[in-house]
Amino acid sequence: MGTPTSTASTADTAADTIAQLRSRMARMHDGVPGRALETHPALAGLVQLRAGSSYAVDSASLALALMAGPSATGSWCAVVGVGDFGAEAASALGIDLDRTVLVPEPGDQWIEVTAALVDVVTLVVVRPPGRVPEQVAGKLAARLRKRSVALVAQEATPGDWPRCEVRLTTREPAWTGVGRGDGHLRSRRLLVEAQRGTAPPRRGALWFPAEDQTYCRAEPAVAPARVVEEAS
Amino acid sequence: MRVMVVWCPDWPVVAALADEGLPTHLPAAVFSANIVQACNAGARAFGVRRGMRRRDAQSRCPELKVCAAVPDRDTRAFEPVLAAVEELRPGVAPLRPGLLALRAPGRFYGGEPAAAALLAERLVGLGVWDCRIGVADELFTAEQAARRAEPQDCHVIEPGESVPFLRGLPVEAIEDLPDGRDAVSLMRRLGLRTLADLADLRASDVRDRFGAQVAWVHRVVGGDGGVLLATRTPPPELACHVDFEPPLDSAETISFSVRQTADRFVAGLARQQLVCTEVRIAARCEGQTEPASSRVWLHPRWFSAADLVDRLHWQLQGAMRNGPSRAGEVRAPVDRVVLEPVTVVPDAVHADALWGNTDERVERGIARVQGMLGHEAVVRPVLQGGRSPAARQALVPWGERPAGLRPVGPPWPGSIPPPAPSRVLSTPWSAEVIGAAGRPVAVDERGAVTCAPERFRSDPGSGWQPVAAWAGPWPVEELWWEERPRRVARFQVVGVDGRAWLLTCDEGVWWTEAVYD
């Protein structure tokens, strides 16, 4: 009786140790040991939002998706310099509009405004008017770490925001449901690439949105040969 | 105890016209749910009656001024009347907007008719032309007497004369009581023509058949059933003002000098255990009687003294900006600032949590940004109903209540089915779309496309690209009842790079309205 129990407990402790070591490695790998923020389930596996880091995206819907995680759990979010915020799309992604602050036209003072909002909210989405100097990004990064706030920079051209933890890019958008003068836009399949430093990028296909207007991972096409292997 | 009743007929209409600064002789009516709730003599001359449908009323009097029923406005407009009467004789009981009762002054003003004349003169001075006064032994009789008085005149029922006066009235006199209309209709069918007929019935029969209200009238007509007046205590003065001698001309100096007054304002409210969530700030220029700059500010929580000073500062900065002349501009030194509470709530509603609120921190941060960029630079997105993506959302300045939003609920024919675009351009980009062999693409009268789009560019700066797929048009005819209706048609266009756009064709001119980014 005693032997199997002790074996199980030993296995448990071993599993715990491995999990602990893995999480420590993950933290070292991420660089910043920031608190993990809620991330939209569609982006799970591609990117994990952490307080104190900055992220760069190249499309408005990805910026909204990153904002959706913290916003849905009741955190305040701010959007600076985005004059074309799509409130309906944001609401469909699960963003709580009552806890969203927009500053559509901060003009020359966008850095000061962003810094002021970093003091009070959990996540700031910013669309910089052009290339951001390394020095400014560094100062803001220090402030983000101090206040434990995440920043999502929506870039017009890649590389506008230096020093970001992860850069998300969209590739091969494919809309379905629309023909030549018939139907309407229904669903879109996107390939999202998450580039972290010099590591090889992680890729994932997403339905953004799917046919039923939800936002989810597109299941990767399962190779039939592998299924057979597992079965046998 | 003698009772005096002051009746201002058609008060909702009087208040509505006064609110818009229109003369009182115009035919006007106040509508609630498209039914005439009150109308004035001008409208009645055309045959407009209470309970009439709006289209019937407008067919009888096409120039009828249509006002919405706003009970708050009626009450607010009646407040000066109450205050004026209170000055002459304390102990006023407001019955409803347009009707008040007080204990009739006896010998002090030299008799009841003299007192009524004085009261009428005071009310005419306030701009209330049509006020009628009735004096009798108790409330119901006094109100009926007021209804039988001429404008600005008084109808006195001598002591002990109430019962003969009431017995002579037709049963229609009680129509204004709750459920009075049904009771009057029933009495007519039962053959009761005057209140005397009603009074001759047995009290228990009246109560069983007509209910408590008519039973009360029955008692009054029988010479019994006087009610005590519920008199009010005059409300405390909560507004504060500060005068500058000499007048000041810089926004900073004025804001600094108002600090103490703002403290006094907040403390005065706190004594009544109130906090202010909506305040009107008015600044008057030297040598003028009307305030040059006046606006209402809202606060998501409540105004502290520092918030009030901030709002005044923003208001003055906006009003003193050099530029083309416009309304609400301060061009001379300011000699008076008035802080007037518009909405107050008990302070318990906004009590702080024991350890402070996170939302309060957010408020402070946002107030800082508002201080940098101005009040309207920080907004909150709100959803509303509409056909185009831009019309389906609204940006409300932080701290203001959204007003006049279209409901999301009902279907909006011509709107684009989901998914919603993630970028909704605030100013559309000028786009170009051409069909095969460079022919222009347009939408004809019947909503059909003249030629399939082949190539497009979303804004003048980007390059042309072929159309991979397109859907539409969603035609919308806006303002079709106007001289020049606006006919637009919306298209969803997917380029060969896989990106989708929402383009609008407005009489052959193309615009990019939103991006499915």
Cα B38 from Cα B291, distance rounded (Å): 33
Helix, strand or coil, per DSSP, at residue B168: coil
Cα A124 from Cα B362, distance rounded (Å): 13
What is the structure's pLDDT at B476? 85
Domain shared by B205 and B294, yes or no = no
Domain shared by B174 and B246, yes or no = no
Query: B281 and B311 in contact (C-beta within 8 Å)?
Result: yes
10 Å Cβ neighbour count for B2? Answer: 17
Residue at B167 is within a domain? yes
Q: Look up residue B473 and give its two tokens.
A: 């048009």
Helix, strand or coil, per DSSP, at residue B193: coil
Mean pLDDT of chain B: 86
List chain B residues with CB under 8 Å of A100.
380-381
Q: Look up residue B415 and give its two tokens.
A: 């709107």
Cα B452 from Cα A182, distance rounded (Å): 11
Helix, strand or coil, per DSSP, at residue B380: strand
- Domains of chain A, by residue range, sit at 33-231
Domain shared by B79 and B139, yes or no = yes
What is the structure's pLDDT at A232? 33
- Contact assignment for B471 to A182 by CB distance below 8 Å: yes
Q: Cβ of A188 under 8 Å from any chain B Cβ?
A: yes
Domain shared by B12 and B59, yes or no = yes
Domain termination residue (choose one: B138, B156, B174): B156
Query: B450 and B470 in contact (C-beta within 8 Å)?
Result: no
Residue at B232 is within a domain? no
List chain B residues with CB under 8 Å of A186.
419
pLDDT band at B155 (very low <50, low <70, confident <90, very high): very high
Q: Cβ of B109 under 8 Å from any chain A Cβ?
A: no
What is the structure's pLDDT at B29? 93
Q: Is B355 left (phi over 0), alpha (psi -120 to 50) or beta?
A: alpha
Residue at B461 is within a domain? yes
Domain termination residue (choose one: B111, B139, B156): B156
- Contact assignment for B377 to A105 by CB distance below 8 Å: yes
Cis-peptide into A209, omega within 30 deg: yes
10 Å Cβ neighbour count for B194? Answer: 18
pLDDT digits (tens, 9 = 90+) for B75-128: 888 988 998 998 888 888 888 899 999 988 878 888 899 999 999 999 999 888
Domain shared by B145 and B43, yes or no = yes
List chain B residues with CB under 8 Å of A106.
373, 377
- Segment 473-502 of chain B within 8 Å of chain A by CB: 492, 494, 497-500
Residue at B375 is within a domain? no
Domain shared by B150 and B169, yes or no = no
Q: Is the dihedral of CA B405, B407, B412, B415 positive or negative?
A: positive
User: Which of B364, B449, B497 has its CB closest to that of A181?
Assistant: B449
- Containing B35, the helix (H) or strand (E) segment is strand B35-39
Mean pLDDT of B466-474: 90
Residue at B180 is within a domain? yes
Domain coverage including residue B315: 240-367
What ranges in B320-404 are assigned the alpha helix state H? 358-373
Chain A closest CA to B20's CA: distance in Å?
34
End-to-end Cα, chain A, rounded Å: 34
pLDDT band at B211 (very low <50, low <70, confident <90, very high): confident
Chain B closest CA to A183's CA: distance in Å?
6
Domain shared by B203 and B91, yes or no = no
Domain shared by B449 and B428, yes or no = yes
Which CATH number characterizes residue B71's domain? 3.40.1170.60
- Segment 356-395 of chain B within 8 Å of chain A by CB: 358, 361-362, 364-366, 368-369, 372-373, 377-383, 389, 392-393, 395
Q: Look up residue A99 and give its two tokens.
A: 């806890």
Q: Cβ of B469 under 8 Å from any chain A Cβ?
A: yes
A135 versus B230: which is more confidently predicted?
Answer: A135
pLDDT above 70 (res B494): yes
List chain B residues with CB under 8 Å of A119.
365
What is the structure's pLDDT at B57? 93
- Contact assignment for A184 to B417 by CB distance below 8 Å: yes
At A34, the amino acid letter reads G
Q: Look up residue B506 and give its two tokens.
A: 């407005």
Domain shared by B268 and B314, yes or no = yes
List chain B residues with CB under 8 Å of A182.
471
pLDDT band at A8 (very low <50, low <70, confident <90, very high): low
Cα B174 from Cα B157, distance rounded (Å): 18
What is the structure's pLDDT at A7? 59
Cα B133 from Cα B155, distance rounded (Å): 6
Q: Cβ of A74 under 8 Å from any chain B Cβ?
A: no
A186 versus A28: which is more confidently predicted?
Answer: A186
Cα B343 from Cα A75, distance rounded (Å): 29
Superfamily grouping for domain A33-231:
P-loop containing nucleotide triphosphate hydrolases (3.40.50.300)
Residue at B415 is within a domain? no
Domain shared by B254 and B348, yes or no = yes
Domain shared by B14 and B106, yes or no = yes
pLDDT digits (tens, 9 = 90+) for A49-83: 988 899 999 999 999 999 999 999 888 999 999 99
Cα A148 from Cα A193, distance rounded (Å): 25
pLDDT digits (tens, 9 = 90+) for B306-321: 889 988 888 888 777 6
Residues 6+ apart with CB under 8 A from B21: none
- Contact assignment for B383 to A174 by CB distance below 8 Å: no
Domain shared by B19 and B98, yes or no = yes
Residues 6+ apart with CB under 8 A from A160: A56, A128, A130, A131, A132, A153
pLDDT band at B322 (very low <50, low <70, confident <90, very high): low
Chain A closest CA to B45's CA: distance in Å?
51
What is the structure's pLDDT at B134? 94
Query: B139 and B101 in contact (C-beta within 8 Å)?
Result: yes
- Contact assignment for A173 to B398 by CB distance below 8 Å: no
- Contact assignment for A180 to B389 by CB distance below 8 Å: no
Report the 3 state secondary structure along chain A: CHHHHHHHHHHHHHHHHHHHHHHHHHHHHHCCCCCECCCCHHHCCCCCCECCCEEEECCHHHHHHHHHHHHHCCCCEEEECCCCECHHHHHHCCCCHHHEEEECCCHHHHHHHHHHHHCCCCEEEECCCCCCCHHHHHHHHHHHHHHCCEEEEECCCCCCCCCCCEEEEEEEEEEEEECECCEEEEEEEEEEEEEECCCCCEEEEEECCCCCCCCEECCCCCCHHHHHHHHC
Indicate the angle between helix axes B180-190 and B203-210, nearest 10 degrees. 120
Q: Cβ of A18 under 8 Å from any chain B Cβ?
A: no
pLDDT above 90 (res B488): no
pLDDT band at B413 (very low <50, low <70, confident <90, very high): confident
10 Å Cβ neighbour count for B49? Answer: 13
- Contact assignment for B517 to A120 by CB distance below 8 Å: no
pLDDT above 60 (res B354): no
Residue at B110 is within a domain? yes
10 Å Cβ neighbour count for B323? Answer: 6
Cα B100 from Cα B153, distance rounded (Å): 16
Mean pLDDT of B269-294: 86
How many domains are there within chain B? Answer: 4
- Contact assignment for A60 to B422 by CB distance below 8 Å: yes
Residue at B46 is within a domain? yes
Chains A, B: CB contacts under 8 A, how many?
155
What is the structure's pLDDT at B71? 85
pLDDT digits (tens, 9 = 90+) for A110-143: 999 999 999 889 999 999 998 999 999 999 998 8
